Amino acid sequence: MIDSLSFPVFLRLLILSIASEGIYLLLAAQSRIPPSESPLASWYHPVRFEETAIFLGLWAALFVTYAFAIRAVHEKTGRTLFLFIFVTSAVFRGSLLLEKGGFATDAPEAFLQAASPIRTAMEVRPGFEAIGAVAFDLGALALMPALLRALSLPSGLALVYGWNPLLVKEGAASGRLETIPLFFLLLAFLLFRKKRPGASALLYGASLAGPPFLWATLPLAARALGFRLVLSLFLAALAWAPLAATRPFADLMGWPPSSSIGGSLMPATAELARLLVTRDPLAALLFCAGIWLLLALVRAARLAPSGGELPREALVLLGCFIFLSPQVLPWAFLPIAGLAAFSANPGWIVATATAPLTYLALGEGKWSFWLAFAQYFPFYASLVFVALGTKRGRKARPGKAK
């Protein structure tokens, strides 16, 4: 690892940060133009700015600069580097906060993304949603170096979090609140690593006040915290009690799923079951839930007592839960973006790059096979390709030693 920020690396990052900031400012400016006046609007009828061709083009440009930046900081560490990453990340978010463009801020309800105590609390002052999201987002970024060190990873990988366009846009521009429970989750992991399980249990309970899909980390928490998980569940129950008293539980959970928008493996399984076994969609849902539960139990059983692997394992369980869910909204990928730095597989980053394609089905469009293919095939292909390459590399090393 390189322990200092060399001038060539600094110059490269500076150029990329200026390019990224320019794209964010252009995004904010373009978002004020009515979607009906955007290029290619005559071919289809965009409702949100995120559905326009100009957004998708600028989004692709953002991820190109993001990829070059990740390549520049690969295997590099140091306080100066992290300080640069933190400052530039704050600038990206601050510029979108100040510009207040015409980005989508509505939050349609979906399966396990229908409601949360955190959202209800923030809705008291709607104008502060984006500010709160950014504050906790930057707080989570500040935790990254310590968490990366626990996995013997360079602090430069904090850029994977700080510069991720999905985190920047959905938090600062659209005011998505998933970064708040993500902060509590990462802080709980850090405190557990520092041998403070009681405080970790309290903060993990605070993370459970976020959207219910974040409960997918419960098997890991049960393995790491043991009996202290009761404290987490008690705190979560207190947070959810006021909502449960005013709305039916099924309504809070977004049950039953009203469509398959954003879904990946679950809708495909349901279609296959409809052709071969049964037309009941509940059968496919139970099948996918069984697969995820088996995976969760295996991963939790293999968790080391030190807890250093918690962020990486949380990424796997949350990712698989999302891909096996019947409905997935774009901002459900924010925890994936926040945890992607802990994995050596860049496929998780690809998933955050294609997540906004779901916006095309939230307006007047519909979720189709080709839209699902465009969103998920790059992720699955990169994830499998890199995993197979890593496996072959491990097999090749003993041969070279001989």
Q: What is the pLDDT of residues 155-171, one digit of tens each?
A: 999 999 999 999 999 99
The pLDDT value recorded for residue 16 is 97
d(CA 289, CA 30): 41
* Model confidence at 39: pLDDT above 80: no
Q: Give the CB-side neighbour count of residue 135, counting CA atoms within 13 A.
A: 5
CA distance 215 to 319: 12
Burial of 30 (0-12, 13-18, 19+ CB in 10 A): middle
- Report residue 393's pLDDT band, with 50, 70 and 90 as the boundaries: low
Q: What is the pTM of this model?
A: 0.93
Question: What's residue 365's pLDDT?
Answer: 62
- Phi first, then psi, for residue 386 (nearest 5°) are -70, -40
Question: Percentage of the chain surpassing pLDDT 90?
Answer: 66
pLDDT for res 88: 97
Q: How many CB atoms lie under 10 A from the CB of residue 396?
A: 10
| pLDDT band, very low/low/confident/very high, at 148 (cuts 50, 70, 90) | very high
Domain residue ranges of the chain, discontinuous segments joined by +: 7-401
Neighbouring CB atoms inside 10 A of 385's CB total 13
- Over residues 279-320, the pLDDT tens digits come to 777 888 899 999 999 999 999 999 988 888 999 999 999 999
Q: What is the pLDDT of residue 308?
A: 84
Instruction: Note the Cα 147 to chain centre separation in Å.
Output: 17
At 390 the pLDDT is: 65
Task: List, in order, residues 6 or more apart from 89 with CB less than 8 Å away.
Answer: 138, 141, 161, 162, 163, 168
* 8 Å CB contact between 31 and 102: yes
366/177: higher pLDDT: 177
pLDDT, tens digit (0-9, with 9 covering 90-100), for 230-275: 999 999 999 999 999 998 988 889 888 878 899 999 888 888 888 8
Residue, of 387 and 391, whose pLDDT is higher: 387
Quick: pLDDT tens for 168-216.
999 999 999 999 999 999 999 999 999 999 999 999 999 999 999 999 9
Q: Residue 223: its pLDDT value, please?
A: 95
Confidence of residue 364 (pLDDT cuts 50, 70, 90): low
Q: Report the pLDDT value the prediction gives residue 4, as an integer from 0 to 100.
A: 53
Q: Kindly indicate the confidence band of residue 225, based on its pLDDT and cuts at 50, 70 and 90.
A: very high
Q: pLDDT per residue over 103-126, tens digit each? A: 888 878 888 998 899 999 998 887
On the question of pLDDT at 391 being above 70, the answer is no
Using DSSP, how many helices (H) and how many strands (E) does the chain show? 19, 0
Task: State the pLDDT at residue 234.
Answer: 97
Is there a contact between 234 and 193 (Cβ–Cβ < 8 Å)?
Answer: no
Is residue 2 pLDDT above 50, yes or no? no
Binned at pLDDT 50, 70 and 90, residue 367 comes out as: confident
pLDDT of res. 1: 46
Question: Between residues 233 and 4, which one has the greater pLDDT?
Answer: 233
First to last CA, the chain: 27
40-49, 109-118, 385-394: least confident range: 385-394
- Asked whether the predicted pLDDT for residue 363 surpasses 90, the reply is no
Mean per-residue pLDDT for 120-142?
Answer: 92
- Mean per-residue pLDDT for 318-325? 95
Which amino acid is it at 96?
L
Mean pLDDT taken over the chain: 90
List the beta bridge partners of residue 76.
2
Q: Does residue 256 have a cis bond before it (omega within 30 degrees)?
A: yes
pLDDT of 108 reads 81
pLDDT at 362: 84
Mean pLDDT of 371-397: 80
Pick from 22, 60, 35, 320: nearest CA to 166: 60
Residue 350, pLDDT above cutoff 90: yes
Q: Are 345 and 55 in contact (CB under 8 A)?
A: no
